[in-house]
Amino acid sequence: MTFAVHGLPVARGIAIGRAVLVVSSRIDVAHYFIKPDEIETEIDRVRTARNAVADELTKLQASVAQMGPNDAPHELAALLEVHQMLLQDDVLSGGVKHWISERLYNAEWALTTQLEIIARQFDEMEDPYLRERKADLEQVVERMLHRMKGTAAVLAPSPPRRKRAAAHHDHDDEDDDPTAGDGFDVPLVLIAHDLSPADMLQFKKSVFAGFVTDVGGRTSHTAIVARSMDIPAIVGARSASQLVRQDDWVIIDGEAGVMIVDPSPIILAEYGFKQRQGDLERGRLARLRHKPAVTLDGQRVELLANIEMPEDTVGAVKAGAVGVGLFRSEFLFMGRENSARQTRLPDEEEQYQAYKRAVEGMQGMPVTIRTIDVGADKPLDGKSASKQEHLNPALGLRAIRWSLADPAMFLTQLRAILRAAAHGEIYLLIPMLAHASEIRQTLSLIDFARAELDNRGAVYGPVKLGAMIEIPAAALTLKTFLKHFDFLSIGTNDLIQYTLAIDRADEAVAHLYDPAHPAVLKLVADTITECRRQGKGVSVCGEMAGDVAFTRLLLGLGLRSFSMHPSRILAVKQEVLRADTGKLEPWARGVLDADDPAAALAG
C-alpha cells in the first residue's frame, strides 16, 4: 500500500530506490558492505557466533538441570529451551545468509536486519504469548552480536557493483522503470533514526542515493553534510524508521520533504520525470562554471566552498569555487574510536598533511581553516547529540571554549595549520568567540605556537586571522573584534540558533528557525556594514549563503563574499549574474525595515 511520510526538506532533488534500514540496537552495530569474496567469511562469523551462544545455552541448561526446583523454577528451563529453538530457527539463519550473499551486508548488519523483519512478524501475531517471544528473539540476537562485537565502523565505503544482464532487458525500459531488474546496482536510500556527523562522514563515500532520518533540523550537521553531497535528503520524519521495511521501494522528494513508500507505477513515472528534469537543470547550470561571478553593474563576487575533508577540494574546484571559505577541521577528529571506545585525536603530522592536501587541492586559491568546532550536534565520538551527557551542549564546552580548555590539543592544531601555510594562502578562522578574554587567550596561543615552531626550526607561513560571528554578543561588539582580526565570517546557522533560542537540531522547534527574522537580518546587516566601513573582509559561510532566496538580499546589503557547499555554487552564481546591486541596495534596506521581512523577500 502506498503511503507518504512528511519531514523537513534539507537537500533538493529526487531519489528513487530500495530502503536500507539501519536498525537501532542496544549495542553498537557495524553497518558496512563487504566484498563478494568475503561472503563465506561473514557467514562463518555468524555460524561461529551462533554455535558459541548455543554452547552457552547448553551449559546453562545443564546447570539448571542439576539444581533443585526451589533454585531453578521450571519456567527457566523452558525459557532456555525457547532460546535454543530460536537460535536454530531456519528463518533467522536463512534470512541472515540472504542479506550477506545477496546484498553484501556485513554479518552484524545482516543479523539486525533479519531481527527487525522477524520482530515485526511477532508484533502482528494475535496470540499474546507468541508476541512476547519477540523479546526472547532480541535477547538471542544480542548474545550473538556480543560475540561478534569489535568490528569495523558504522558506515563504510562502497559495495561492489554487480552489472545487470543486459541481454534480457531493453535499456530504455530500464530508464523508464527504476524498479526494473535486481542486483547490487539497484539504487539504495538510507533510512535511520539518526546519523551522527561521524556516520555522515563515512556516508559521503558510500553509494546511497538519498537518506531520511527520524530526527534533525534543517541546519543540523546531518543536513549540512547531506547538502554537501548534493543528494536528496529529509530529516525530522519522526517515525520513518518504524514505518519503512527493509527493501521497500521509496521515493525521496527533497524539495517537498516527502517520502513516498511503495509507490504505484503512475507515481514512479511522475517522479522519474521530475528526476530527469532536475538532471537537465544541473546540466544547464554547469555551463556557468567558468564564467566569472560579476553582477550586471560590474561588482565582482567571491563564491567560495565549504568543505569537510581535504578530498572535498576536488568538488570545490569542479564547481568553480575561487577558494575555500570554510574547512570544517573537526571532521578530521571524528569517527576515530578504537575497539576500547577511546577516541585517538590526530597528531600534528597527520593534521599538517591533511591541511597541506587541502591547500594543494585548491591549486593556489586561498583556504580558510576553521579550528576544531565540536560539541552540540557534532560530538567527537560516534554518538548522536541526543546521547550526550550535557543537558544543553549547544551552550556548553564547544568550539573555541573546548580548544582553550585543552591548550595542548589546540596548540597541536595551530602548529599544523601554520606549517601548512608554507604551501599556500591560508586564512585561520576561530569559531564561537564572544569575550575579549577569549580573543586574548587565542591570540596568545597562536603566538606561542609560532614560538614553538621557531624553537624547532620548523618552516611555517603567514596566516590571516579571522573570527566567526555566530553569537549575538559578538555581533554587538564588532569594534572589539575588528581591532584584532583581519576578517570576519558570519556563521548564520548558529547565529540564528542563538538569536532565536532554538536548538537547530531539534525538529520539534524547526518551524521557529527563521533566517528572515528581523533580529537576525539586522545582526547580519550591521556586521557587513561595519566590516566594509573599516575595510575588513567579511563573508557569510552559513547555510544562508547557499540559499538562492537570500542571494539578492545579501548582495543588496553589501556582501561580496559567499561561502557554501560546492553543490550550491552554480545556482548562486546564476543569481549573481542576474543581479544589479545598485537597484538591490534600496530594496534590501526596505526588507530590513519591513514588519514581515519574509513577505518582502518573496515579493
- The residues assigned a catalytic role are 221, 541
**190 Cβ neighbours under 8 A, 6+ residues apart:** 20, 22, 203, 208, 210, 211, 212
Helix (H) or strand (E) holding 111: helix 107-123
The position carrying cell 537537465 is 280
CA–CA gap between residue 546 and residue 543 (Å, rounded): 6
CA–CA gap between residue 426 and residue 491 (Å, rounded): 19
Q: What Å distances lie between residue 547 and 2, 163, 587, 601, CA to CA? A: 32, 38, 18, 13
How many DSSP H helices and E strands does the chain contain? 23, 16
Q: What Å distances lie between residue 549 and 222, 288, 554, 601, CA to CA? A: 22, 19, 10, 8
Taking the mean position of all CA atoms in its chain, how far away is CA 489? 22
The grid cell for 222 is: 546531518
The grid cell for 459 is: 618552516
**91 Cβ neighbours under 8 A, 6+ residues apart:** 114, 118
Whole-number CA gyration radius for the chain: 27
Residue among 254, 319, 363 at smallest CA distance from 573: 319
CA–CA gap between residue 297 and residue 466 (Å, rounded): 29
Q: Would you say how long the chain is, in residues?
A: 603
The position carrying cell 557467514 is 43
Measured over the CA atoms of residue 260, residue 263, residue 267 and residue 272, the dihedral's sign is: positive
Q: What Å distances lie between residue 270 and 19, 255, 267, 281, CA to CA? A: 20, 15, 5, 17
Measured over the CA atoms of residue 9, residue 12, residue 18 and residue 22, the dihedral's sign is: negative
CA–CA gap between residue 383 and residue 396 (Å, rounded): 17
- Look at phi and psi of residue 33 and say left if phi exceeds 0, alpha if psi is from -120 to 50, else beta: beta
Three-state DSSP class for 262? Answer: coil
Helices 107-123 and 128-148: crossing angle in degrees, nearest 10, is 170
CA–CA gap between residue 311 and residue 345 (Å, rounded): 19
φ, ψ of residue 347 in degrees (nearest 5) = -80, 180
Q: What Å distances lie between residue 559 and 180, 374, 525, 530, CA to CA? A: 49, 28, 9, 11
Give 164's DSSP letter: P
CA–CA gap between residue 321 and residue 310 (Å, rounded): 15
The position carrying cell 551542549 is 393
Helix (H) or strand (E) holding 293: none
